[in-house]
Amino acid sequence: MKQLMILAAASTLAGVLAGCADDSSNLIVDPVDPVDPIDPVPCVLNCTPTPPPPPTSLEDCNPNNPNARFAPINSNVSSVDVGTEGICVNCRVASPVSAFDGNLNTFSAETAGVGVFGTLNLSGRGPRAYETSPTVLRRMGFFVAYPADSVADVALLGNASAFTVDADGVQVQGPGEQTLDTALSLQLLGLPLLAGQSLAFVSVVTSQPFNGARLDFTPSIGVLAGLNVIEACISR
């Protein structure tokens, strides 16, 4: 009987741990009660979830790649919006839908004129909420391309931020971070117009449910700027 009770307690503990990060150092178990060794003292779990790492290339979001760790959000996007904040002269987005079409061979082109004091917004959202929580983190972001040999455009990348939004387009979380990648993936996936450019993933780690994503681009003052947005992707 004692062995059965001990096995049951071990089984319960294993079930609890299944939902935690795979890190035994995060498990703190009180010693067994010396008075009654059959009834273990309740365990104290300190589980710190690990955010999904950023994708390593465009292939990580390729819908035709069975090993991809990310997926385009196009199937849930029913509304794509473009907006500006502040003074954004000659700010425009060509083919905004291409950032949410699930096709890694197309892209949206964001451009802004010289002397810009504003921000360009590109967002896509839908009716379905993506499940995420403080214990189940996900990463939402945008693949963007920019000229690798332009000091100005490299600086501009630091002015690109990702956010999650709800069904009405209201910000939920953000901004996020930028993760540099290589231009090789762009060439492999047949984007000749972007050959020679550098690739980055501008993302935000999410802990609250959301319905879509927004990319904010604030060009540097006095520089003619451009940013190509390939696709919005979410970790599986």
Confidence band for 88, pLDDT divided at 50, 70 and 90: confident
Confidence band for 182, pLDDT divided at 50, 70 and 90: low
For every residue of the chain, DSSP letters joined together read -HHHHHHHHHHHHHHHHTTS-S-GGGEE-PPPPSS-TTSPPPPEE---PPPPPPPSSGGGG-TT-TT-SEEE-GGG--EEEEEEES--TT-EEESGGGGGSS-TT--EEEEE-TT--SEEEEEEEEEEEEP-BTTB-EEEEEEEEEETT-HHHHHHHTTEEEEEE-TTS-EEE---EEEE--SHHHHHTT-GGGTTEEEEEEEEEE-S-EEEEEEEE-PPTTS-EEEEEEEEEEE-
Q: Give per-residue pLDDT as tens, 45-82.
A: 556 788 888 888 889 999 999 999 999 999 899 999 99
Q: Would you state the pLDDT for residue 220?
A: 63
Q: Would you state the pLDDT for residue 33?
A: 41
More confident residue, 52 or 117: 52
Q: Would you state the pLDDT for residue 11?
A: 43
Mean pLDDT, residues 183-207 taken together: 74
pTM here?
A: 0.74
More confident residue, 197 or 29: 197
Instruction: Please state, rounded to an integer, the average pLDDT across all residues of the chain.
Output: 75
In this structure, of 123-132, 151-160, 200-209, the range with the lowest mean pLDDT score is 151-160
Domains of the chain: 2-45 (no CATH), 58-235 (2.60.120)
More confident residue, 201 or 157: 201
